[in-house]
Each structure stands twice: as structure tokens, then as C-alpha cells.
Amino acid sequence: MIVTVGGIKGGSGKTTVATNLACIAAGQGADVLLVDADNQETAFDFTNARKSDNPGAPSYTCVKLTGASVRTEVLAMAKKYDHVVIDAGGRDTTSQRAALSVSNILLIPCKPRSFDLWAIENVAQLVDEARTINPGLKASVFLNQTDPAGQGSENQDTIEELKKFTGLTYLDAPLGSRKAFAHAASLGLSVLELPRQHYNPKAVAEIMALFQGSFKVTVTSRKRQAAGA
């Protein structure tokens, strides 16, 4: 499974989601490759912090790739892993196009605000173009940083708008705006791995719903398969 977390909006939550998905899949015993295809290199820095500060945490391989090599290197490496998660960055770059050309699914975080909605229109076009060379590409948009109090109709209004985009599927697995996500990121952890005093079961339930909705498969590692489990 090759999952790209992308879109063309900065700060929508791509790296937060990509790193959580990689940590969760690794925690379930899968062999995971996390590709940082964003030249800000945040996913790479997160991984370095994870390795140095949490040596016992489930590990995955993280590489930095850019431009057309996102396609060629991912194609070459994917067979060695159960899952590849690509953080594509927030612009319409060669790297993101290359990522879409080899991915099974594009996950697009969208904040429940109109400016973010406008950007989705351009993402839908990018997906259309990617499908000319990768017809099987699925593209799912979900809400990130929703108001946990659930006040107002902002979320529902945004959902109605998102459902209008042909070619994109609305994934009903929103993430609330919760300190746990930002806190976990600063520690090199997923929200599942936060120490007890910072652990937030709501954040965990939300990211697990997104994980399951995205992968839609039971994560079975090569190691476990090889062991006949």
C-alpha cells in the first residue's frame, strides 16, 4: 500500500498525519517506509527526534526524496515494505506529481474553512491529471483541526462542499484540533504513544479511524507472515 498525504495547502496537517500513520503501522508490526518528499524535511526531523529520544519506539525507515526520484525510488523500494507513506508537502510540485503517479491513495487534510476549500478544487484537478498515468489512484479528503466543541455549522457546511467534488471521496474520519497532536509531534511520537499525562483517548480514536479508513486492510507484516502467524 502506498499512501500519499498531500494537497496544495500549507499547514493543513499533512506531516502530522503522515508521521502518525507511519508510527501506527510500525507499531502493528508492519515494515514501513516513510518518504519525506517535502523540502521542509519535517517528517525527516520528526523521525530523527523519534530515534534519538525514544529508542524503544517501533521503528520505520525514513528517506528524503525529491522530484522525479519520488517515483523511481518508491517503485524500486516499495516491494521491500508492507507500506509506504509519503509526505508530499503542500504545493503542486514535481515531487507531489511523482508521488501521485505511484500511490494507491492520496489523503488530503482540509481545515473546515473556506480558504482551504478553495484549494481543494485545484487538488481535484491534480488528481484528475495523475489518473491519466495512474488510473487506480483513490483520493480521499478529510477534515483536520475541527473544533472539538463541535459548535456552529462550519464542519457540516464544509463537508457538504467537499462531497460536491467529483473524483474525490469524503472520508468521514475527522481529527479535532487537539493539543495531543502537536505535543506528540514535538516528542517524535504518535498520539498512541504519548505518556499517560498527555494521552488523549479522543485523539487516539480519531487517528485510528483515519488509519483504518485509509488503509482499509489489516496490516499484516512480512515478518509475521514469514513466521506463519
Ligand X SMILES: Nc1ncnc2c1ncn2[C@@H]1O[C@H](COP(=O)(O)OP(=O)(O)OP(=O)(O)O)[C@@H](O)[C@H]1O
Residue 137 C-alpha cell reads as: 489512484
Site for Mg ion in 14-33 (CB under 5 A): 14-15
Of the residues 125, 155, 177, 212, which one makes contact with ligand X according to CB under 6 A: 177
Binding mask 134-153 for ligand X (x = CB under 6 A): ----------xx--------
Kindly tell me which of 39 and 225 has the beta carbon lying closer to Mg ion. 39
Identify the sign of the CA torsion 161, 138, 72, 26.
positive
Question: What are the residues whose beta carbons fall under 8 Å from the beta carbon of 228, sequence distance 6 or more?
Answer: none
Amino acid type, 178: R
Strands (E), the chain: 2-5, 32-36, 61-64, 83-87, 105-110, 138-146, 169-170, 175-176
97 touches ligand X by CB under 6 A: no
Kindly tell me which of 28 and 144 has the beta carbon lying closer to ligand X. 144
92 touches ligand X by CB under 6 A: no
In the complex, least distance from residue 89 CB atom to Mg ion, rounded to whole angstroms: 6
Contact (Cβ atoms closer than 8 angstroms) between residue 60 and residue 105 = no
Binding site for ligand X (CB under 6 A): 10-16, 38, 40, 42, 89-90, 144-145, 175, 177-178, 181-182, 185
- List of residues contacting Mg ion (CB under 5 A): 14-15, 42
